[in-house]
Every structure is written in structure tokens, then in C-alpha cells.
Copies of this chain bind each other. A is one copy, B any other.
């Protein structure tokens, strides 16, 4: 089996490649080759027995998609996107990369499908940003997508394309609407959602973190490990069971910031919690107030997608996967 990961240099892409390298298989089939692509050069995962090709490529450039498909990958993970904030600041770039880039990929597959019947599995990472306020809690599976960002719009459009191209038989697509990934490893970044991770990650490492919103803010989370699990399950699930509605809101954990902090207290004690400094930020509060508080995710759950059941578990996953198992 040959696996192509587009967006392999990102956090989830790296973890996915690492997972496939470690397990060496996908859905019971050995993964003999991986092609890892991103706009910056991805790292080859360590300890992988198969062939790895690492490429720098921009999907929104003419001909890129066709070239990436030259090896006829059996499974394509499409994770590449510019993030919400950048897509909002640069309208053209957001549509070019997040929409046109994806469409080029889908059309290149369709072209080859027309030529020789090539029909790969395509796992597309979408986002809960396809939903826009006002939102109920929990959000049901059949709730409409009325995004309030260009990023969310681009993801929602790609979901529609994915479903139509799949219905037409050009490829076997599935869209995975990721929750906010928590705890994101690495340094604090400037994303408005960054505090959800940093109020746990920094105190776990003995460092101070800033909380810009009130403790009653409720949001929807899953760990990086769960995100990889969603993608792997999406790559191997029987699509007959999924049916024609190919875009699924993933399971996750709905928690308030206060509940996050109490979980931190249980796992790491009062001292860790004491490192959270409250610094209310009106702009972030306003943005976050429109975000999804939580989902029913009945379909995805019934289809076997699994996320964490408590924030204690999410914190423990971080300690195991990012801190060598030790506090």
C-alpha cells in the first residue's frame, strides 16, 4: 500500500506519518511506501521500514497535483491548508490554497480516474469551523454549515466537492471534521484558540500561561492522538456504512475552561494551576463566544470513531506522547 500525505509537515501530518511508520500497516495492509508533501520540507519518520519520499510542493500550483499522483497512491490524506487567521487576512491566498488547491487535487484524481479507473481513498481534514454562531449545544449531525470565516467557508465547500466527486465514483472520499486539537504540543502560538492548549501545556512544564477568557467558556476538544485515530479510521472504514453523507463531525470532549483547569489540578496539583494567569482579552472573548460548544457526533460515534472521555485523559495523553510519560 502506498500512502500520500499532503500537509505532512504540520503537527497532525507529522504524527500521522509517525503512526504509520511505527505500525507499518493501515487497515491490515502493509504500508510499503509513503510520500510526504508540504510547502516546507516534511521530516521522514524514524524507524520506518518502507520507502519514503519527501517532497516540497504547493498544491495550488498548476501540475502539482498530477505529479503527486504519479505513484498512484492508494490512500491520500489531504491535510494541507492555511489556517483560519491567515485565510481571513489574505482572502486570495485562502481561496487559492484551501479551495483551489483541493479542487486541483480532486480534479487530477478525476482525470486519472477517467483514464484508467484509478480510485483512491481520500481522507480530507475538515474543521468544526464550517459551523457558525448562533450554535445550539450540542450541535446535531444534521445542523447546517453557515461558517463565519473564509477558512470555514473553504472547508465547507471542499466537503461538498468531496461528497459529489465520491458520489460520481472519481474517488472514495471521507471528510473528517476535527475538533480543536488539545493539547497541541510545541510553543505557544498566536492562534486565538491557543490558550486552550497553553493553559495546560505550559503549567505541566512548570511555566506560566495566560488565560484570556472566563472559565465558563465551553468548547470541543480531542487530543492529537485521537486526531490521528480519526484519520486512520477514516482511511480504513467501510464507506458503504457511511453512505452518501461523507463529511462527519468527529467525537470529542465538550468542556469548559474551568473543567480543563480542574482536570489539570487532579493530574498535576494546585501548583500547576497556580501558573495560570488571568488576563482577559476582549477580542479573544468575542471570537471564542461564536465557537462550537460541542457536538452530538452520533454518526461518527456509531461508525467507530473514538475520542477521549475526560480532560484528565487528554492531559495524560499529552504526558505520555510529549513528555515521555513523566511530569
CA distance A160 to B168 in the complex (A): 22
User: Would you call A147 an interface residue if the criterion is a C-beta within 8 Å of the partner chain's C-beta atoms?
Assistant: yes
A150 to B164, Cβ gap below 8 A?
yes
Contacts of A245 in B (CB 8 A): 146
A164 to B142, Cβ gap below 8 A?
no
Copies of the protein in its oligomer: 2
Q: In chain B, what residue has the closest Cβ to A247? A: B146
Q: How many residues of A contact B (CB 8 A)?
A: 22
A147-181 residues at the B interface, CB under 8 angstroms: 147-148, 150, 153, 156-157, 160-161, 163-164, 167-168
A148 to B167, Cβ gap below 8 A?
yes
B147 to A164, Cβ gap below 8 A?
yes
A266-294 residues at the B interface, CB under 8 angstroms: none
Contacts of A150 in B (CB 8 A): 164, 168
CA distance A146 to B164 in the complex (A): 9
CA distance A40 to B148 in the complex (A): 37
Minimal beta-carbon separation of A88 from chain B (angstroms): 9
Contacts of A161 in B (CB 8 A): 153, 157
B144 to A153, Cβ gap below 8 A?
no
| Chain A residues packing against B (C-beta within 8 Å) | 91, 132, 141-148, 150, 153, 156-157, 160-161, 163-164, 167-168, 244-245
Between-chain CB contacts (< 8 Å), 15 pairs: A91-B168, A132-B244, A142-B144, A143-B144, A144-B144, A144-B145, A145-B145, A145-B160, A146-B244, A148-B167, A148-B244, A153-B160, A153-B161, A153-B163, A157-B160
